[in-house]
């Protein structure tokens, strides 16, 4: 990826992430895009912590792909790496809990799968770092960050999902109207984002390298 492409990627990632986090900055449940469960008083509080941890992981993880930064400031690499790991462990564990309070089975299963993969890939990367196996550490942390980015890619695919949904319905809204269409799309966009990210990251890791 060229420097220009990298800058645009960062702008898109951060733009989508900030837009996703913004409604929760007010700490007002009325602004939440996920309706808090009235039978679970801690739902909104845990959701806020989960979102904050995911945002910290996304931002701290970005720095790990700046090779010049890593080589010039190894201490910062280790510090940000620890922040990345701790934020994922916190946010991922909360994600496991929150997945059982999703408003549909499909969405809950998607969040559960995402949380498990997030924790697993990060743990594998962390373990390889502890063992000093840096090549494997890098591979698993790249996978981990691909899962971290599902929060971004799942939102980026929504416009495409809307077009496909309308095309499949003859460009007519379903009986439930626009709300039903959005609900149906939000049932699958996490799955689509996760599958796309995993396919892209495995292609990146397995693609033939150019010989120098």
CB 153 within 8 A of CB 193: yes
The one-character DSSP state at 65 is T
CB 21 within 8 A of CB 51: yes
Domain extent, residue 97, equals 3-152
**Opening angle at CA 21, ends 101 and 2, nearest 5:** 120
In a domain, 56, yes or no: yes
pTM for this prediction: 0.91
Q: How far apart, in whole angstroms, are the C-alpha atoms of residue 162 and residue 173?
A: 10
In a domain, 188, yes or no: no
For CA atoms 175, 177, 179, 181, give the dihedral sign. positive
CB 65 within 8 A of CB 5: no
In a domain, 189, yes or no: no
In a domain, 15, yes or no: yes
pLDDT for position 211 = 58
Top-confidence residue, 75 or 114 = 114
Q: For the chain, give the mean pLDDT.
A: 92
pLDDT beyond 80 at 210: no
**Token code pair at residue 72:** 């010039």
In a domain, 173, yes or no: no
pLDDT for position 65 = 82
pLDDT beyond 90 at 174: no
Q: Encode pLDDT of 134-173 as tens digits.
A: 999 999 999 999 999 999 999 999 999 999 999 988 888 8
Q: Encode pLDDT of 175-208 as tens digits.
A: 888 889 999 999 999 999 999 999 999 999 998 8
In a domain, 164, yes or no: no
Work out how many domains the chain is built from and give that number. Answer: 1
Q: What is the mean pLDDT of residues 85-114?
A: 96
Residue (of 110, 84, 115) closest to 97 by Cα position: 115
pLDDT for position 10 = 87
pLDDT for position 70 = 78
In a domain, 28, yes or no: yes
Q: How far apart, in whole angstroms, are the C-alpha atoms of residue 205 and residue 207?
A: 6
In a domain, 115, yes or no: yes
């Amino acid at each position: 990826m060229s420097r220009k492409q990298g800058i645009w990627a960062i702008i898109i990632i951060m733009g989508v992430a900030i837009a996703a986090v913004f409604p929760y900055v007010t700490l007002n449940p009325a602004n939440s895009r996920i309706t808090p469960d009235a039978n679970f008083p801690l739902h909104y509080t845990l959701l806020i912590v989960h979102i904050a941890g995911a945002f910290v992981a996304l931002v701290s993880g970005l720095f790990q792909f700046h090779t010049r930064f890593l080589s010039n400031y190894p201490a910062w690499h280790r510090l940000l790496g620890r922040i990345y790991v701790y934020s994922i462990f916190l946010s991922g564990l909360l994600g496991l809990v929150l997945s059982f309070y999703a408003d549909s089975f499909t969405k809950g299963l998607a969040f559960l799968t995402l949380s498990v993969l997030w924790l697993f890939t990060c743990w594998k990367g962390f373990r390889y770092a502890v063992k000093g196996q840096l090549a494997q550490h890098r591979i698993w942390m790249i996978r981990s960050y691909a899962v971290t980015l599902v929060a971004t890619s799942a939102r980026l695919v929504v416009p495409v999902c809307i077009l496909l949904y309308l095309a499949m319905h003859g460009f007519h809204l379903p009986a439930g109207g626009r709300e039903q269409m959005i609900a149906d799309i939000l049932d699958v966009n996490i799955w689509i984002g996760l599958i796309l990210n995993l396919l892209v990251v495995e292609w990146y890791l397995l693609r033939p390298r150019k010989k120098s």
